[in-house]
Amino acid sequence: MDILDGLERVDLLPEPSDRRILSVIDPSTSGYHDEWRAEVTGWAPRYAEPIAKVRRTRVLVSNLIIFAIFSVVLLLVWQSGLLFVELPPPTSEWAFETTEIRQLQDDGLDGQGVRVCMVDTGYSSLHSSLEGVEIIFKDMIGDSTVPVDHGSIGHGTMMAGLLISQNHQIGIAPNITLAMVAALNDNGDGENAGEESVVADAISWCHQNFAADIISLSLGGQQKLANEREGASVTAARMAVDSGIFVVAAAGNDGGPDDDGMVSAPANVARVITVGATTMDGQLWANSSAGSQLTETENPRQHPNLKPEVVSPGHMVISTGDKGDWYSSSGTSVSTVFVSGALALILQAHPELKPNQDSNGSCIDSVKIALMNSAQQNEFASTHDDHWGYGKLRSQLWLQEISNSEQC
């Protein structure tokens, strides 16, 4: 009998203590799923209320003097019904300005030539700001061959719009090559959730099938404890960054009194860029998760990999919503996209940093050092803070820091 017979039905898991050692796990074994299968939650915005389109408003002219002078003209206009004002929906330009995204765009950067893969709930192509945009769609929730958003309140559609919206509120990197993998869906309680194995498969698809330069993860799950095997999504993210692919992930939305003091998984992977959230007035968003400076094996983290690494706008940010509306939303999901988009602009300016067949993650280290040195520090922290990370995202300064540093 061949020694490899039957291995096609088992999983091989690397041991945390030595990744060269693989443990054979049989998924059919009783109790197997309960031991290590995690539920991954894609955080839906805390506030996701449609911003109503402003309907036509009749303009009334009541000034008697003007009416006396122009009565005939006004009568004709009033009868024709032409005197209407169409007001556009509001925007969140403040978020694009404070992160220096618009400054990079003014310099001619739009993400051209950079491949970004989002793992989320899918997306709807029906929004006017996404019409005509070619997005590669992979459905791991169902088997749809056309774009669909499986999530509550169109979570994936909002994330895609922040990145590539073509009008009204221009996206962060509107000319990237974007792939959207649907790996989460509405669990029936208004939350976006999914199985970790599906999320891991989606990350691997971005890595191996799509050949992404950046994988953007506006999702996360609970970290494994030190005595547990790492989850499949963590393994997939680790393999991606070790191959030179940039992975940007949400820190989590459990901040406040109930914060467990750890960022989500796979944001806990060292080379992953982990993102917390700030408000319009530049304060930390109350629900942004804190990070622990110990690894899952309880070893101290080292610069530039302290968690989280950076914070960016993630409170009441407007983006493309379901059914063609514009939604305001809050969460580290949103802030993650700002960092992913800024990184896409930087990789356009420095294509030598993109992964290739010889990549080993060293370019990620260089880019993260530049991020650490360019972030706007919290006034109460010397270098790093468990909530603020190294500071606020400053995209233009990040690019300058990379341009002035030694390349990997």
Phi-psi region of 99 (alpha: psi -120 to 50; beta: other; left: phi over 0): alpha
- Residue 189's pLDDT is 81
Is 408 contained in some domain? Answer: no
Residues 128, 64, single domain; the answer is no
Residues 320, 382, single domain; the answer is yes
Percentages helix, strand, coil for the chain, rounded to the nearest 5?
Answer: 30, 20, 50
Tens-place pLDDT, residues 181-225 = 999 998 888 788 889 999 999 999 999 999 999 999 999 988 766
- Residue 249's pLDDT is 97
- Residue 350's pLDDT is 97
Residues 65, 214, single domain; the answer is no
- Residue 35's pLDDT is 27
| Host H or E run for residue 195 | strand 192-195
- Residue 72's pLDDT is 58
Number of domains in the chain: 2
Is 174 contained in some domain? Answer: yes
**CA-CA distance, 335 to 320, in Å (whole number)?**
15
Residues 333, 185, single domain; the answer is yes
Residues 78, 210, single domain; the answer is no
Is 321 contained in some domain? Answer: yes
- Residue 111's pLDDT is 98
Residues 165, 205, single domain; the answer is yes
Is 195 contained in some domain? Answer: yes
- Residue 367's pLDDT is 97
Is 72 contained in some domain? Answer: yes
Residues 75, 194, single domain; the answer is no
Q: Is the C-alpha dihedral spanning 378, 380, 386, 387 positive or negative?
A: negative
**What's the CATH code of the domain at 376?**
3.40.50.200
- Residue 41's pLDDT is 42
Q: Is the C-alpha dihedral spanning 174, 404, 273, 258 positive or negative?
A: negative
Residues 113, 81, single domain; the answer is no
Residues 70, 164, single domain; the answer is no
pTM given for the model: 0.82
**CA-CA distance, 265 to 135, in Å (whole number)?**
26
Residues 237, 314, single domain; the answer is yes
**CA-CA distance, 241 to 327, in Å (whole number)?**
32
Is 53 contained in some domain? Answer: no
Spans in the chain with pLDDT lower than 70: 1-87, 224-229
Owning domain of residue 350: 90-403
Rg (C-alpha) for the chain, rounded Å, is 23
Nearest Cα to Cα of residue 252 among 235, 240, 265: 265
Last residue of a domain, one of 17, 50, 85: 85
**CA-CA distance, 333 to 120, in Å (whole number)?**
10
Residue 381 DSSP one-character state: -
**CA-CA distance, 209 to 388, in Å (whole number)?**
35
